[in-house]
Structure 1
Amino acid sequence: MDKFLLQQQVLERLADDLLQADQAARVAHETATHEENIAENKYDTLGLEASYLATGQARRAEAIREAMADWRQFRPRAYDPGLGIQIGALVCLVDADDRQQHLFLGPNGGSMKLQSGAQLVQVISSDAPLAQAMLGKGEGDEVLVQVGSIRQQFEVLRVD
């Protein structure tokens, strides 16, 4: 798997998300400011609700822009066994039932699933609990993650 191709896929997906968020913000703003949505009484809140929605969509669009900037600046490096798993690593984990999962650790804002050839790759943020549990680990190491009452255990099969 090519890390740089995965990075480009993340950027493409974020660009699509940004287009959708911008469009949703525009529509909500138009709804909020349309003359037919002027409140006639205190119970007529369509314009106010659309205004809140427009603000939320604008914030979402800004968060996506920030994530895109982080992903553009991101330079995945080759795996260094001396440092263990770091941001930019491609990791193959296996659980107790021999189910494998492929993960790409990246900057914030890129949590998504991507297809790389026949392989499904989960992109996770460096702040994700699983990413935090993997940092510094190497091939053959055990990774434990406690999320709420669920405890998950994995073995690191491969790191690129």
Structure 2
Amino acid sequence: MIIKETIRQGILRQLRTDYENAIRSASAAHEAATNEESKAENKYDTRGLEASYLAEGQSRRVTELEEEIAVYEKLELADFTEASPIRLTALVVLEDNKESRQLFFVGPLSGGLKVVILESGLKGECLVVTAKAPLGSALIGKRVGDEVVINIAGNTACYDIIDVY
């Protein structure tokens, strides 16, 4: 389906942008950690140590983004019907009790990432959810017409599954 490929490309675009930014941040943090000005002036001066922790964290984020990009580049998008159980790569339309509709893409990684869709009929934001997230976990195995109930921080939310692509 073209719409899901558009979503996958949008996810990849955002991940690649995040990757480029993370590389720049990691480079800047590494430079700060090795800069002469970061050298401790006394035993209580932790600027250099803090900069090295930041550089290490930024480098880990670069590696995570490389992995996420590789996974989404190889991701095969499955086709779904109304009778298909929801699983990885499903594009799900949910409706709450106020008849407000939301789009969710069940992805392997990058939960929380938002992609704007400009396609006909499904315009709006699409949120990536993973099976580890409460909503993603509740969606797995459900079908069109089922109800999904999740409890987050003491608040209960109910959704009807309107469509799956």
Aligned to 1:61: 62
- Which residue identity does 2:22 align to in structure 1? A
Contact kept, 8 Å, 2:92 with 2:163, in 1: the verdict is: yes
CA, structure 1 residues 110+72, in 2 after alignment: closer, same or farther (shift >3 Å)? farther
- d(CA) in 2 for partners of 1:19 and 1:123? 21
Identity of aligned pairs, percent? Answer: 37
How far did residue 63 of structure 1 move?
A: 1.0
1:149 corresponds to 2:154: yes
1:120 corresponds to 2:125: yes
Q: Tell me the TM-score normalised to structure 1 length.
A: 0.94
- Alignment gaps of 5+ in structure 1: none
How far did residue 28 of structure 1 move?
A: 0.7
Secondary structure of the corresponding residue to residue 87 of structure 2: coil
Secondary structure of the corresponding residue to residue 44 of structure 2: coil
Aligned to 1:71: 72
Q: Supply the RMSD in Å over aligned alpha carbons.
A: 1.4
Q: Tell me the TM-score normalised to structure 2 length.
A: 0.91
How far did residue 86 of structure 1 move?
A: 1.1
Alignment of 1:27-106 (within 5 A): 27-106=28-107
Secondary structure of the corresponding residue to residue 45 of structure 2: coil
- Alignment gaps of 5+ in structure 2: none
How far did residue 106 of structure 1 move?
A: 0.9
1:19 corresponds to 2:20: yes
Contact kept, 8 Å, 2:83 with 2:144, in 1: the verdict is: no
How far did residue 57 of structure 1 move?
A: 0.6
Aligned to 2:136: 131
Contact kept, 8 Å, 1:67 with 1:110, in 2: the verdict is: no
- d(CA) in 1 for partners of 2:124 and 2:45? 51
